[in-house]
Amino acid sequence: MAGTAGTPGTPRVLRAMNDRAALDLLLEHGPLSRTRIGKLTGLSKPTASQLLARLEAAGLVRVTGTSEGRPGPSAQLYAVNPAVAHAAGLDVTPDRIRAAVADITGRTVGEFELPTPGRHPAQPVVRQVTDALDGAVKAAGLARSDVHRLVIGTPGAFDPNTGRLRYASHLPGWHSPTLLDELAAALPMPVEYENDVNLAALAEQRLGAARGHEDFVLLWSEEGLGAALVLGGRLHRGWTGGAGEVGFLPVPGTPLVRQVAKANSGGYQELAGSQAVPKLARELGIEDVPPGPHTEVAAELVARAADHASGPYRELLRAYATRLATGLASLVSVLDPELVVLSGAALTAGGEVLRGLVQAELEELAAARPRLLVGDVHEHPVLRGALESALVATRDEVFDTSR
């Protein structure tokens, strides 16, 4: 019996599968000729021609030029039409909201940063979000209605059971039980929320050091110390969204921190968070500790230490590596990941020197032996992850030609 439209295996579904495969190849490789698309997909020349004609008629691809420098007539080159859809991402911290808009190819076309200093925001959170988004949209030369989807990254996580933000008491104004409903009412596109470290992990999985890996831990050090857990290719968020809040982890080498939610800190944060690096430097006799926010100070000290082969700076790096490995030992003992990615300014500043020291210490402290890598996504990894997350869903919607 002939299948109905939309049934797996029917011509419409097979065409849609071929269309998506071709679009994904164009995103990965850039402009391609009909012949090249046919070879990469295994489609015949007539079928590849029909596919491209169909995608061009739908506005999903466009001719961008011709191939040159080869014998015979020049072939037309096809690329994904970047204007077919746009997605946006927000990276939220207590001090600012960074926003960006990307076209469907992933190219950032507009950015904006909104300062939000102080523990008592002058504007409601909904206004902050819309102002930041509108700033990026305006920079892209678009309207708010042109954005298909928005992903917002915050410290902590929105509990899926209550809709309230947890594990981020330092983010003023974001803990209202009606916030998600207010944002949904104010914005004309689907809005998703994700933990900031999870988004950094997504960026590394799609674009960076964890590309091609399905089981890894990303350890993050900026204002706070956190982790993201990717198991079987998927983010593991936990029952309340708090998986990876390792700053609260009790570890040897520091007093127990009780009532961690009120303290917004814990043993591992106190032992190896960025605020511990300047203190450790002074204890080791380093006198020229620069002033400034502890994240920036920690990154500068770690970078200096990575350039020294001996002396107190090298001792600083070794001690810091031991502290980092102390908490990591618990993580890898439970999860046994294939890979650990070190990310965030206080970790990437140490580069391969710090990575090697942490790797050696971890091999002494844990039976599991994951490989450690330094993160590759250096420019705004949380924001990049938010954009990638928004683009995944947007492409699934826009590239679906089976409807």
Per-residue pLDDT tens over the stretch 123-152: 799 999 999 999 999 999 999 999 999 999
Of residues 263 and 272, the one with the higher pLDDT is: 272
Same domain, 135 and 268: no
29, 48, 80 — which closes off a domain? 80
* 153 occurs within a structural domain: yes
147-154 and 76-80 beta bridge pairing: unpaired
pLDDT at 341 over 50: yes
CATH number, domain containing residue 162: 3.30.420.40
pLDDT reported for residue 75:
82
* 1 occurs within a structural domain: no
Same domain, 236 and 183: no
Same domain, 147 and 236: no
Instruction: Report residue 389 CA to chain centroid gap.
Output: 8
Same domain, 242 and 194: no
pLDDT reported for residue 71:
47
Of 196, 198, 192, 228, give the one whose Cα is nearest residue 390: 192
Same domain, 223 and 366: yes
Same domain, 265 and 245: yes
Residues 6+ apart with CB under 8 A from 63: 56, 76, 77, 78
Per-residue pLDDT tens over the stretch 201-240: 999 999 999 999 999 999 999 989 999 999 999 999 999 9
Mean pLDDT confidence for 273-295: 93
The percent of residues in the chain predicted with pLDDT above 70, rounded, is 95
pLDDT at 66 over 90: no
Same domain, 304 and 328: yes
As given in the structure block, the two tokens for residue 194 are 């994700």
Same domain, 326 and 282: yes
Q: Which amino acid is at 149?
A: R
Same domain, 24 and 101: no
* 3 occurs within a structural domain: no
Question: Could you tell me the pLDDT band of residue 284, with boundaries at 50, 70 and 90?
Answer: very high
* 206 occurs within a structural domain: no
* 205 occurs within a structural domain: no
pLDDT at 2 over 60: no
Q: Which residue has the tokens 């031991």?
A: 322
* 121 occurs within a structural domain: yes
Same domain, 59 and 102: no
pLDDT reported for residue 309:
80
- 147 has which bridge partners? 86
pLDDT reported for residue 402:
80
80, 105, 140 — which closes off a domain? 80
* 5 occurs within a structural domain: no
29, 54, 80 — which closes off a domain? 80
Same domain, 392 and 370: no
* 48 occurs within a structural domain: yes
Residues 6+ apart with CB under 8 A from 372: 339, 340, 341, 342, 355, 358, 359, 362
Q: Which amino acid is at 282?
A: R
Q: Which domain covers residue 43, as residue numbers?
A: 11-80
Q: Looking at the 3D structure of the chain, how many domains does it have? A: 3
CATH number, domain containing residue 56: 1.10.10.10
Mean pLDDT estimate for the chain: 92
Quote the pTM value: 0.92
pLDDT reported for residue 121:
59
Same domain, 259 and 118: no
